[in-house]
Structure 1
Amino acid sequence: MATGTDDSDCAAVWGDFVDSDDQCDVEDAAEPAERYDEGLYYPICIGEILINRYRVEHKLGHGGFSTVWMAHDMVNNNDVALKIMTPGPPAEREYTAQDMIATTVQDTSRLLLYRETFLLPAPTTQHRVLVFPLLGPSLRTHASSMSVAARMSSAKQLLQAIKALHDGGVVHRDINSSNVLYGLTPFKSGTDLVTKYEYLGRPRKMHIPTCKPMWKEGELVMPISPHKSLVQETVTLADFGLAVKSDTSVECKGEPPAIYCAPERFHGVESGFASDMWSYMCIFADLCIGFSLFRGSVPRSALDFMVRSLGPLPSKWRGSYDGGGQYDESWYNQNRGPDSHQTLEAKIERSRYEISPVEKELVRSILQRGLSYLPEHRLSAGQLLEDASFKELMASYGL
């Protein structure tokens, strides 16, 4: 029997169904309901028991190819995260990529790798489930509430994670702030559900609105909102669904969100270590100044912001843009300079955080060299860890 329901308590124990006025809030925070109609997501209810072992207690989040749930492992008596994948190649890519990382990367202490896996049957397919240690919120949602010192620690820890991955010959290909997770202090053994919900928030949920009856019950659920006392300052790099060995040509051309994506990837150049480092530099800037260097949900708009901030793209890229939409010929005009109010210096000056003039100059020096358009000119993870400016910036916060 694959699933069941914990009937030991009344349904109210497992959170609260919202009224119609609040359903929009749940729908905005949850995964697209139509993907259940399409048979892609696996329907889950809070309180459900999977494979007679994992009791689902809350929602953690979702992605394009998965939903992620907090569950209690009734065998080992600890809380875990269950990543329930959509059927098909993306699930198997992540599964095989994690196995590859586990066997080729020497230091995986800052990488989120699955501990166990199992399959859930559905009417016409099956869903792979990856079991992970339970971690907290992402850097995207939580970093702004951390101290400057904690954010700098996040930057260093993430860089160490990337170096370990690269030292093992692996390119992540999807580094962005949503794939970097803070630690979560585990609950003591025997902690009851009421206490957990006091620290995580009670699940706010609704029945999945679908166009046709589903083959099993399921709920849309607002993710946890952990109390700040639970969130640790350790960070872990996650989501290896696009990861590959370096120098590997891949059919899956996925990429991080446009504002984190290296410009060469919009010009027919295969991703490599340097592409990961561009993504890292975008996160580093966000941690230092409190906002994204670039804007735009599509490549064209993100590239436009890059040029306005950093100047023209390499002339040799002219004619090779493949990011979708019409490119702007002026991107490659070598006589064009950055917009004065959009330069790195101008953005660093507008930092939302209190950093000294010396620190601002260190940040500028790091970004200037890390955001070189040509991949071969960018600092590697190992080089940046040993870089004088980076070390001085970290040392100013005792790191």
Structure 2
Amino acid sequence: MNRIIRSPLPQGQLARFGFSSRPDYIFHRHTTHFPKVNFLDVEPSCRYDTGGYHPVHIGDLIHNRYRVVHKVGFGDFSTVWLARDRETNKLVAVKVGTADSDPKQADKLSSLSLATGSNFFPPVLDRFEVRGANGIHSCYVREPALGSLANLLELSPHIFRPHVARVLIAQLVLSMAAMHSRGFVHGDFHLGNVLLRAPSAFQDLSNEELYQIYHSPYCEPIVPTEDENLPSNIPSYGVIPVFLGKLEEVSQQAARIWICDLREPITPSAENIDCLFKPMECCPPELLFSPEESKVSYSSDIWALACSIWNLLGERPLFGHSWEDSRSTRIAQVDHLGPSGMPSSWWDNWKDRSSYYTEAHDPLPDHAKYIESWDTKFGEYIQYGLGAAGYPKISPKEKKAIINMLQPMLTWKPEDRCTASQVLKSEWMTQWVLPEYQKLTT
């Protein structure tokens, strides 16, 4: 077991931090410092409890080796910190899991990384456990990344030109085929769990260079609601994650990804579905309409892969908006797939159906006007954005190949969906996508 060793910040370091007191435990941000960035936030303070996050501060020494210099992100089951490796003097990413997170996460990534030659999965450089006030936390170390594809797209919707998007999509499909062929289900596949790799020179930046290029850590103190001491299981301040990407087009050569955050297979329920699957747009219908009888599977991965492919091509998700709740996503799925092929038990369990459809499966007049076809969505969500950005639109032949590939990935019944290996053999992959990726690898 290891404990995090506290280290005071160097003299003058605090002057570079922004602070603002607020009388509660809620972390918040100063948007004036990030006028064009609206996704940055900090993890929910309520998760700093038994089974939750481990409190980490800038300057901490983790595992007697990794000095924390910045924060790069967080998820439902971890926080991720940029740290200086005292043995190599390089920057690394240290992922500190919640006490209730999957302790085998590093084993899965290591196995997949070795099997694929680290092409799609980050090599695990070190792994250890930290014992803290909230429990025992599994940690592992990997090379840093510039950020998730989801964050990059949110900041700049046209950051990936069409030929670069094809290279990224090739890697998404190849990585999923690699996972499934080795018996792994990802279980939480979306662009937020796909990282853009950092160039090797990034690891050699000094702390001064890092802060000069990207800004020093920006923190928000946490103040108790009453006149009491802050509990030891809560950090004294929250740190806003640093954005390491650039708001400019990503070149084809730089379009290299890592897949992260494989989830332990779970069986969701109607009560926890909104918490377990974010963004909801990638949640497959079996988990929305029949959660108690379903679980994550190869087929649910394929559904999420199709949604992720669409999100790389278009400006708007195929099924609603990115972070809508399960109710809105159910409606969007029924509208797109049609209720006629829906399993009868799912239809019967859908409590809101009478607000949108008749019992004969016909849309109500007030709702019918909102239903869009494949062609309409492709034109409005993909082609319009390409034209507005000054990029050439997708040809009718390629458009047909894209839709022909996505349709068998997005079926009501999981058993009817194609496999990752079948996706690789589709016309669009073989004639448009994989040839672009081969330019990167040759």
TM-score interval, normalised by the smaller of the two chains: 0.7 to 0.9
The aligned runs of 1:286-297 (5 Å cut-off) are 286-295=311-320, 297=324
Query: How much has 1:227 moved relative to structure 2?
Result: 4.6
SS of 2:343's partner is helix
SS of 2:311's partner is helix
Q: Aligned partners of 1:367, 1:189: CA distance in 2, in Å?
A: 38
The aligned runs of 1:52-71 (5 Å cut-off) are 52-71=64-83
The aligned runs of 1:35-114 (5 Å cut-off) are 35-36=47-48, 40-88=52-100, 91=101, 93=102, 95-100=103-108, 102-103=110-111, 106-107=115-116, 109-112=119-122, 114=124
**1:312 and 1:332 in contact (8 A); partners too:** no
Query: How much has 1:181 moved relative to structure 2?
Result: 0.6
1:387 aligns with 2:401: no
Look up the match of 1:226.
244
Q: Deviations over 1:94-118 (max 9, x none)?
A: x225425645783253123533222
Q: Percent identity?
A: 22
Look up the match of 1:175.
189
Query: How much has 1:219 moved relative to structure 2?
Result: 2.5
Q: Deviations over 1:61-109 (max 9, x none)?
A: 1112211111111112221111112213xx2x2x225425645783253
The change in CA–CA distance for 1:100 and 1:123 in structure 2 (over 3 A counts) is closer
Q: Aligned partners of 2:342, 2:437: CA distance in 1, in Å?
A: 42
Q: Which moved more, 1:345-354 or 1:313-322?
A: 313-322
SS of 1:84's partner is strand
The code of the aligned residue for 1:136 comes to L
SS of 1:131's partner is strand
Correspondence for 1:285 among 293, 298, 310: 310
Look up the match of 1:247.
none
Higher fraction of strand = 1
1:342 aligns with 2:351: no
1:299 aligns with 2:326: yes
SS of 2:91's partner is strand
Query: How much has 1:220 moved relative to structure 2?
Result: 1.0
**2:170 and 2:437 in contact (8 A); partners too:** no
Q: Aligned partners of 2:109, 2:76: CA distance in 1, in Å?
A: 22
Look up the match of 1:184.
198
The change in CA–CA distance for 1:189 and 1:164 in structure 2 (over 3 A counts) is closer
The code of the aligned residue for 2:47 comes to R
Query: How much has 1:174 moved relative to structure 2?
Result: 0.8
SS of 2:299's partner is helix
Look up the match of 1:264.
286
SS of 1:67's partner is strand
The code of the aligned residue for 1:361 comes to K
Q: Aligned partners of 1:67, 1:398: CA distance in 2, in Å?
A: 32
Query: How much has 1:301 moved relative to structure 2?
Result: 1.5
Q: Aligned partners of 2:306, 2:312: CA distance in 1, in Å?
A: 10
Query: How much has 1:213 moved relative to structure 2?
Result: 1.2
Query: How much has 1:396 moved relative to structure 2?
Result: 7.6
The change in CA–CA distance for 1:46 and 1:382 in structure 2 (over 3 A counts) is same
SS of 1:127's partner is strand
**2:3 and 2:132 in contact (8 A); partners too:** no
Q: Aligned partners of 1:139, 1:175: CA distance in 2, in Å?
A: 12
The change in CA–CA distance for 1:332 and 1:396 in structure 2 (over 3 A counts) is farther
Unaligned runs of 5+ in 1: 245-249
Look up the match of 2:213.
199
Q: Which moved more, 1:298-307 or 1:108-117?
A: 108-117
Q: Which moved more, 1:118-127 or 1:285-294?
A: 118-127
Look up the match of 1:148.
162
Look up the match of 1:236.
258
Q: Which moved more, 1:118-127 or 1:260-269?
A: 118-127
Q: Aligned partners of 1:259, 1:81: CA distance in 2, in Å?
A: 28
Query: How much has 1:259 moved relative to structure 2?
Result: 0.9
Q: Which moved more, 1:158-167 or 1:41-50?
A: 41-50
The change in CA–CA distance for 1:11 and 1:390 in structure 2 (over 3 A counts) is same
Q: Which moved more, 1:29-38 or 1:69-78?
A: 29-38
Q: Aligned partners of 1:278, 1:313: CA distance in 2, in Å?
A: 19
CA RMSD of aligned residues (A): 3.3
Q: Which moved more, 1:294-303 or 1:232-241?
A: 294-303
The code of the aligned residue for 1:125 comes to G
The aligned runs of 1:301-340 (5 Å cut-off) are 301-312=328-339, 314-319=341-346, 326-328=351-353, 335-336=361-362
**1:60 and 1:68 in contact (8 A); partners too:** yes
The code of the aligned residue for 2:99 comes to P
**1:199 and 1:227 in contact (8 A); partners too:** no
The change in CA–CA distance for 1:333 and 1:209 in structure 2 (over 3 A counts) is farther
Unaligned runs of 5+ in 2: 32-38, 270-275
**1:341 and 1:347 in contact (8 A); partners too:** no
Q: Aligned partners of 2:128, 2:68: CA distance in 1, in Å?
A: 15
Matched residues, number? 387
Q: Aligned partners of 1:5, 1:187: CA distance in 2, in Å?
A: 29
Q: Aligned partners of 1:154, 1:58: CA distance in 2, in Å?
A: 27
Q: Aligned partners of 1:48, 1:309: CA distance in 2, in Å?
A: 50
Return the TM-score normalized by structure 2: 0.77
The aligned runs of 1:353-392 (5 Å cut-off) are 353=386, 354=391, 355-358=393-396, 359-392=398-431
The code of the aligned residue for 1:4 comes to I
The code of the aligned residue for 1:259 comes to E
Q: Aligned partners of 2:220, 2:237: CA distance in 1, in Å?
A: 6
The code of the aligned residue for 1:106 comes to A
**1:315 and 1:333 in contact (8 A); partners too:** no
